[in-house]
Each structure stands twice: as structure tokens, then as C-alpha cells.
């Protein structure tokens, strides 16, 4: 038995499939914009090569907000200013390679890529919990408290302080 589908029916079915796919795509995109996931913020080991192998980490995630409704959230030279890809929110993706240092329970992260975060002399880091899986496949989070950091004048790097690891995210990230 042959099944014949008229051109009009085929066009209607194709249009419906495309329409549904478009609606699904837009709803997923909107969901991700309004409700970003914790998994968007990650700490990923990046082994280095050389005589003294060292493990650096890629910090990645979402930060910042649109300046349309923000008169400024950073006080610079006595004036409030705004930077889209800094501070609370999830307007921009960020990525920076860092080295971690631990002295007792104090954890710090120092950038190893000079201009990965910004070309400004400061960076407004919102509080973030970065998902991390260690070498034993244990899931944990590196928590970074909100802080305004300034570029070191000699090394041109940023150093984040007061970091700590937990089994669950400390911050909501948005």
C-alpha cells in the first residue's frame, strides 16, 4: 500500500516541526538566561608542561549585568562607574587561568593570564561557587567571596583571597 502525502500536507507538517523546534529553542535559551545553572561556573584543572609540572586551573562561568539599569556599582576616582562584565549577574561569560595557593586554611587564586578577565586595573568579582571534581572523582565547590581586586603593578595579575572549598555551593551564583 502506497501512502501519498500531498505537497500542502507535507509543507504544513514541515512548518509545524520547524515552529515547534523554534519554540523549544527559544524557551531553552530563555530558561538559561533567567535561571543559569551552577554547572555554568566551573574550576577545571589544566596541567602545565615543563621541568616543574604545575597544575593551574581554568575558572569559568557567568558574571556581570547590563548597564541600562545600573548607574554604577564600582567607585573609581570618586565616581560611580559600570562595567558590563563585572559584578553580580550572568550577562557575560568569563574565563581566567589561575594558580591556587593554600597556607593553612587560607586559599588564594592568582591569575596567570594577564588580560583574561579585563584590561582594566581592577576587577569586580561577584561571589561565586565553582564546581570542581578532584582526582578521586569527588564533587566539591571552590567558593569565591565577592571582592574588588586590583591588578598588581609589578606582575599585572589579580589575586583573589578568602576562597574556600565545600561539598555544596555556598553561593547561589546569581
| DSSP-based three-state secondary structure for 20 | helix
How many whole angstroms from its chain centre is CA 125? 11
The grid cell for 37 is: 545553572
Over residues 26-54, mean pLDDT: 60
Confidence (pTM): 0.72
Q: Say if residue 3's pLDDT is above 70.
A: no
DSSP letters of 109-128? Answer: EEESSTTSS-SSSEEEEPPE
φ/ψ bin of 142: left (φ > 0), alpha (ψ from -120 to 50), beta (otherwise): beta
Each domain of the chain, given as residue ranges in start order, spans: 1-35, 38-166
Are the C-beta atoms of residues 173 and 143 closer than 8 Å to each other?
no
- How far apart, in whole angstroms, are the C-alpha atoms of residue 47 and residue 45? 6
Q: Specify the pLDDT at position 81.
A: 83
Predicted confidence band at 31 (pLDDT cuts at 50, 70, 90)? very low
Q: Say if residue 110's pLDDT is above 50.
A: yes
Pick the residue with more confidence: 122 or 69? 122
pLDDT in tens, 41-68: 999 998 877 666 678 999 999 999 888 8
Q: Say if residue 147's pLDDT is above 90.
A: yes
Q: Say if residue 105's pLDDT is above 70.
A: yes
* CA distance readout (Å), 142 to 7, 42, 113, 170, 174: 57, 9, 19, 9, 16
| Among 130, 115, 127, 107, CA closest to 59 | 130
Amino acid at each position: 500500500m502506497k501512502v501519498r502525502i500531498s505537497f500542502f500536507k507535507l509543507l504544513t507538517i514541515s512548518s509545524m516541526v520547524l515552529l515547534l523546534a523554534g519554540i523549544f529553542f527559544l524557551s531553552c535559551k530563555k530558561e538559561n538566561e533567567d535561571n543559569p545553572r551552577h554547572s555554568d561556573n566551573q574550576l577545571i584543572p589544566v596541567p602545565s608542561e615543563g621541568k616543574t609540572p604545575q597544575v593551574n586551573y581554568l575558572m569559568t562561568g557567568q558574571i556581570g549585568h547590563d548597564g541600562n539599569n545600573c548607574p554604577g556599582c564600582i567607585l573609581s576616582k570618586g565616581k560611580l562607574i559600570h562595567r558590563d562584565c563585572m559584578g553580580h549577574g550572568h550577562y557575560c561569560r568569563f574565563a581566567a587561568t589561575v594558580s591556587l595557593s593554600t597556607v593553612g586554611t587560607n586559599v588564594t587564586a592568582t591569575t596567570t593570564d594577564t588580560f583574561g578577565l579585563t584590561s582594566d586595573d581592577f576587577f569586580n568579582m561577584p561571589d561565586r561557587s565553582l564546581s570542581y571534581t578532584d582526582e578521586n572523582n569527588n564533587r566539591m565547590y571552590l567558593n569565591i567571596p565577592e571582592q574588588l581586586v586590583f591588578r598588581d603593578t609589578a606582575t599585572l595579575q589579580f589575586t583573589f583571597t578568602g576562597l574556600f572549598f565545600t561539598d555544596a555551593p555556598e553561593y547561589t551564583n546569581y
